[in-house]
Structure 1
């Protein structure tokens, strides 16, 4: 390890994930003197095909509805920025926090949660489809870039953070060689190879990435909704955290144009949420007095968290966005179209797997089999919105004479 990396480790808290103390990778690799193992994790995520495809995957608005609305890619970059800043302030490992933030949405199929719901229904007789488990599957099996192994061969800390960033997945210790049947498929498949200790909380860095996701999508989806005209300022008066900031902005900049008011609202919301997060997390760290990362994993509750009032306020904002934006009739219309696209593609591919591209059809089994269903789910799950639309048009528009 170089002096630079040694010096960096000395800046980290004892409860941070220290690169030289990593539990390693499933497939052993020599370390690189110029980069820590978590820097390499981050870089591998950025260079992956899955990460590039996020450019054309839905956040709320489908890709053709406007160039300025957020995609999964821009959202992931915004989450990474928040996560890195918070990790630095709490003396956690910035590189691991950033890697997890960049990777957290890689398992999302086209059309966001609507696409996931349809795929899960299509796969109900074949262990279902879960975007979090699919992220793990994407990073450990489906990415094909290296001669030595499938996936990206990320560190244990990156994989456990990806799996558990929202908290424990099981109530107590399990036999990882024989995982519970109720676990999503991607976890059941991978756990026998690498025990991710699903009964504990994740590292502080993973908890930061998870709450940075909440901050980013709550504030930035509100931004997109206001700019799209789906939400008006007057509708926000019953959400305390938002109403208070709107009053501040209007009072300070009474003559500012609407787009500037929106930006001022969003930046102040993020600042307010991050500030509260820092205060509460610092309080919890002090009370816990963790001496290593496992103390945070075994704390029995999140260590990185909002204070009580901010937590309530963020939930109120999420509820508002769900009712006023995610259920808006214009969003519902596109969601209805997206449902039909995913369902049609799944039904065709599973019954006629020879219609899949050659590299995928070669992995499939007999039509309608569980093996073919998983191949089809993997193929559709990796699609971008625009690719799904194009595939649907090629296969179902009978007037097209070219494929």
Structure 2
């Protein structure tokens, strides 16, 4: 049997090995045909929370258009970008895919507007963080197996799902799981290179698809985007090679975004190889102690930050988006108040839980946009949006 020669720039020696995983919280025999990370990915894809992502807001509410991204399509784009980069670097593609597909499972209906409102409602009850909620989904809230709650994913996938975590929540998680997935937030160490890669693929994906959705919606224009160097550079490049695209604005936009995505991916690959070489790390454990190793070059990082700032000011804070954001936040607050006042309005297994406020937060966070709107109308008699 002939094995393919390893790429000279491969970081395969720093890839997480599914056969050396730190394991699951509940011991299970290995699957006969799948490694640990492949099994995690399959459990995520078959979960209820994953299916709900198709009706959860990315930027535009689900009813506003058929072609705008949802949390589901965003997660698929992150997985595609992540796997492409992982393959080039020799990292574990299955782990990257599992993390990417699970990273937004805890997001509320109505996007960041819903998250902010739910955090406000939970101020005196531990707050609400969507990354922590994603971990709660895969650890506790999914109900699929007879012997345990949650999906019982491997440590490495769970670590990647918990992208951010406040110190207070990290300390609480550490008490429940000493040396577990929250330990790095206390020790200030890094997650696996696969988890670091997913964080960056997430940013690359949403910057690109929010341009597409923003222009499609009419809320931002190509002329405005030409003020942003990251976009303008590839727009000029596309027109220089294909001047006929001037009369085909949709194709020109796609070609600009395609080039922008590709160069960001190549930049991450080259920059990460250089960072690893400079750090001199030789093992997965050494990589965790070396500081962030997966990243952009300084030039692309600055341009990406400029684009993100533009999108925040001109798209995420556009008056039309803010109008629906305000209504969505009002809806979440009113749902929260209604369920706290009358828990029996929730599904029975949520209504009977002892921690009433956290139970309400879990129930609302699990809703799709349209279910939240139906529940709000049922409980208040008023239609939102």
Name the TM tier (shorter chain): over 0.9
CA contact (8 A) 2:108 2:114 kept: yes
Partner of 2:351: 361
Change (3 A) 1:92 1:193: closer
Change (3 A) 1:248 1:271: same
CA contact (8 A) 2:56 2:70 kept: yes
**Greater fraction of residues in helix:** 2
Q: Which runs of 5+ in 2 are unaligned?
A: none
Give the CA RMSD over aligned residues. 2.4
Which among 185, 200, 203 is matched to residue 211 of structure 1? 200
Q: Alignment length, in residue pairs?
A: 376
CA contact (8 A) 1:12 1:18 kept: no
Q: Deviations over 1:360-386 (max 9, x none)?
A: 2122x4xxxxx2100000000000111
Q: Deviations over 1:64-120 (max 9, x none)?
A: 110000000000000000001111111110000110011111111111111111001
Partner of 1:253: 242
Partner of 2:289: 298
Q: Which runs of 5+ in 1 are unaligned?
A: 171-179, 366-370
Q: CA deviation at 1:189?
A: 7.4
Partner of 1:285: 276
Change (3 A) 1:217 1:195: closer
Which among 202, 205, 208 is matched to residue 191 of structure 2? 202
TM-score by length of 2: 0.92
Q: CA deviation at 1:250?
A: 2.5
Q: How does 1:1-400 map to 2 (within 5 A)?
A: 13-163=12-162, 165=163, 182-183=168-169, 187=173, 190-192=176-178, 194=180, 196-198=182-184, 199=187, 200-256=189-245, 257-299=248-290, 301-363=291-353, 365=354, 371-397=355-381
Q: CA deviation at 1:197?
A: 2.4
Q: CA deviation at 1:9?
A: 12
CA contact (8 A) 1:143 1:150 kept: yes
Separation (CA, whole Å) in 2 of partners of 1:329 and 1:8? 55
Separation (CA, whole Å) in 1 of partners of 2:174 and 2:191? 18
Separation (CA, whole Å) in 2 of partners of 1:296 and 1:135? 25
Tell me the secondary structure at the aligned position of residue 214 of structure 1. helix
CA contact (8 A) 2:174 2:182 kept: no
